[in-house]
Amino acid sequence: MLAYLFARWLKDAALRPVQLVEGGAHDGQLAFDILNWLHRHRRKLLTELEYWIVEPSEQRQVWQREKLAPFARLVRWAPTFQNLPANGVNGVIYSNELLDALPVHRLAWNRASGRWSEWGVGWSHGHFVWAPLPDDARNWRTELTHAGFDLSPELEAVLPDGFIIEHCPAAGIWWRQAAASLRQGRLLTFDYGLTARQFLSPARSHGTLRAYRHHQPTTDVLADPGQQDLTTHLNFTQLQKEGEREGLKTEQFVTQGEFLTAVASKMWSEEKRTLSPTQKRQFQSLTHPEHLGSAFQVLIQSRNC
């Protein structure tokens, strides 16, 4: 479905060649699937396409080169956005479950001092524990406001002592750099996430940081370091604001279920293909609100589209 959608967008691009840019392609499987579909169904587009992967990890680049060997002539790598074509990207920049894995600052509200303070990891009695970091000159309230959090005096007056927010400057920097690299086209991401307002819900007073092992949630994020995956929800308000500051227009912010259902409706009508029973189950898992359909959000911004 992504390959189909990207092909529709790239078909209307005014400039040539066109670029697909993927951030953090892991082992290259999604890139392979997209290029393979284009090879089978939109072969002419491949003659005008460059597929770029922004990947700072040399080890992952090795995995990706192995997976993408059949499309070696089309694929290029860049360790950062600064290494993309100098005249900018004409096409699509996208990521899938990348930004929620970037490092965060864990901030807690201190009612007594009226300040946000950062907590880090300490060591006590043979275990890792949460511990307040020494105060520094960093103005967390200003950073949180810049990231879209409405921290009015009225709100802070009712926030419980110790209310936790995870703040990810790295996600904002990544999105800003991606937006600045986009000459014409679209920037989008799929990820777990919330709006800034949703982060401030009483139900999330302990933040959104969580751990997974073998795809199952665990209760202690500090246990067994290196043996479980840590993640937090992405602040989509922060991304939206960063893109708009770079001149992008917000086209959509919807659930994955809403997004894929709309794409599928156009694709199945145009392509006139039927799904196998396995594909139907896969589609239902991706779109059902009790599975991945509402857990994932999709943000799309554009320039001159």
Q: Would the pLDDT of 49 be above 90?
A: yes
The reply to whether 147 and 294 lie within a common domain is: no
In a domain? residue 93: yes
The reply to whether 193 and 148 lie within a common domain is: no
Which residues pair with residue 234 across a beta bridge? 193
CATH number, residue 283: 3.40.50.12710
Return the minimum-mean-pLDDT range out of 17-31, 133-147, 281-295.
Answer: 281-295
Average pLDDT, the chain: 92
The reply to whether 50 and 133 lie within a common domain is: no
CA–CA dist 214, 234 (Å, integer): 22
The reply to whether 126 and 191 lie within a common domain is: no
Q: Would the pLDDT of 106 be above 70?
A: yes
The reply to whether 97 and 182 lie within a common domain is: yes
120-136 tens-digit pLDDT: 999 999 999 999 999 87
Provide the percentage of residues in the chain whose pLDDT is more than 90: 80
Q: Would the pLDDT of 276 be above 90?
A: no
Of 238, 235, 234, 243, residue with least CA distance to 300: 243
pLDDT at position 291:
63
CA–CA dist 162, 113 (Å, integer): 12
CA–CA dist 58, 281 (Å, integer): 35
152-203 tens-digit pLDDT: 999 999 999 999 999 999 999 999 999 999 999 999 999 999 999 999 999 9
pLDDT at position 137:
80
Residue 61 CB partners (closer than 8 Å, separation 6+): 53, 55, 77
Return the minimum-mean-pLDDT range out of 19-28, 76-85, 103-112, 130-139.
Answer: 130-139
CA–CA dist 31, 63 (Å, integer): 12
Domain extent, residue 96, equals 2-102+168-204+230-303
Q: Would the pLDDT of 81 be above 70?
A: yes
Q: Would the pLDDT of 207 be above 80?
A: yes
Mark residue 4 as left, alpha or beta (left: phi above 0; alpha: psi -120 to 50; beta: remaining): alpha
User: What integer is the mean pLDDT of 290-301?
Assistant: 81
Alpha-carbon torsion 81, 211, 289, 278, what sign? positive
Residue 152 CB partners (closer than 8 Å, separation 6+): none
Domain count, the chain: 2
Secondary structure (DSSP) of 28-92? SHHHHHHHHHHHHH-HHHHTTEEEEEE---HHHHHHHHHHTGGGTTTEEEESSGGGS-TT-EEEE
Where does the pLDDT of residue 293 fall: very low under 50, low under 70, confident under 90, or very high at 90 and above?
A: low
Of 178, 173, 150, residue with least CA distance to 54: 178
Of 149, 75, 60, 168, residue with least CA distance to 109: 149
The reply to whether 189 and 269 lie within a common domain is: yes
CA–CA dist 147, 126 (Å, integer): 36
Residue 63, both tokens: 């995995």
Of 238, 248, 224, residue with least CA distance to 194: 238
pLDDT at position 290:
67
Give the residue from 150, 167, 184 where a domain finishes: 167
Q: Would the pLDDT of 100 be above 80?
A: yes
Residue pair 115/133 in contact by the 8 Å Cβ criterion: no
Residue pair 193/235 in contact by the 8 Å Cβ criterion: yes
In a domain? residue 209: no
Query: Does the reported pTM lie above 0.85?
Result: yes
